[in-house]
Amino acid sequence: MARALESQDESLRLRAALAAGTHPHPSLVEPLVRRCGVEPDFFVRENLSWALTRLSADDVLPRLQRELTSKNLFARTQAVHTLSKIGDRRAWPWITADLLHDPDDDLARTAWRAAAALVPDDEVSALAGELVKELGRGDDGVRMALSVALLGLGEPAVTPVQAAMKSPESAVAEHARATELMRTRPDLTFAGALKEAKRIIATGGATG
């Protein structure tokens, strides 16, 4: 199975990942994590992560922690993604400020999602304070990921988001207001909320 994970045939790699999850064994931790860091196919990667969730967290977590220090950006991103899938809060201290503010958009938004999933109750407010520092960053996909993470934190994120609505930086103010609109009007998509936020700011704050 470990050899199949290294095959040039993506269908064979996919079958191997599915088999690894169906028949989990501790010996598969290393080949699964190693393959996660280089696998180019999205569906294979998702099944590699799923296979790792089927193994004992006691076996998988230490290996993923080591992966977070890899020089391979892709490997670090996949490790964070898998930690979010496992959902074991022992990994919370590993989602550092450096990860939340990483210059790579894919890694940062993966860290936002993981942090929102793993944060203990007494750290939610602190996490919200870190995440609002990223408002206005990136393209619409990156901004939507941040808004979703902030909304997932619930009430502790409301005050810092509302404060950011007063930012002199238009991108930050628009993103913050769009996030607040999504909270108060759950029917809005992110695109719709951002459009409405820009309209409100352009008209001097009129909401009608």
In a domain, 15, yes or no: yes
Residue 47 lies in a domain: yes
Q: How many Å apart are CA 187 and CA 183, to the nearest integer?
A: 9
pLDDT at residue 204, as a whole number? 77
| The pLDDT value given to residue 203 | 86
C-alpha span between 121 and 31 (Å, rounded): 34
* Range of the structural domain that residue 74 is part of: 1-94
Q: Could you tell me the sign of the dihedral formed by the alpha carbons of 31, 52, 70, 58, in that order?
A: negative
CATH number at residue 72: 1.25.10.10
Domain count, the chain: 2
CA distances from 18 to 32, 86, 155, 159 (A): 11, 17, 39, 44
Same domain (yes/no): 56, 142? no
106 inside domain: no
135 and 181 part of one domain:
yes
Is residue 120, in this structure, part of any structural domain at all? no
**Are 31 and 76 in the same domain?**
yes
Place of tokens 């996030």: 179
Picking from 40, 73, 94, the residue at the C-terminal end of a domain is: 94
Query: Is the domain of 70 the same as that of 131?
Result: no
| 99 φ/ψ angles, rounded to the nearest 5 degrees | -70, -45
Give the pLDDT confidence score for residue 208 in this predicted structure. 44
Arithmetic mean of pLDDT, 92-114: 97
In a domain, 54, yes or no: yes
pLDDT digits (tens, 9 = 90+) for 128-155: 999 999 999 999 999 999 999 999 999 9
pTM: 0.92
Is residue 19 very low, low, confident or very high in pLDDT (cuts 50, 70, 90)? very high
Same domain for 31 and 78?
Answer: yes
Mean of the pLDDT values across residues 193-204? 91
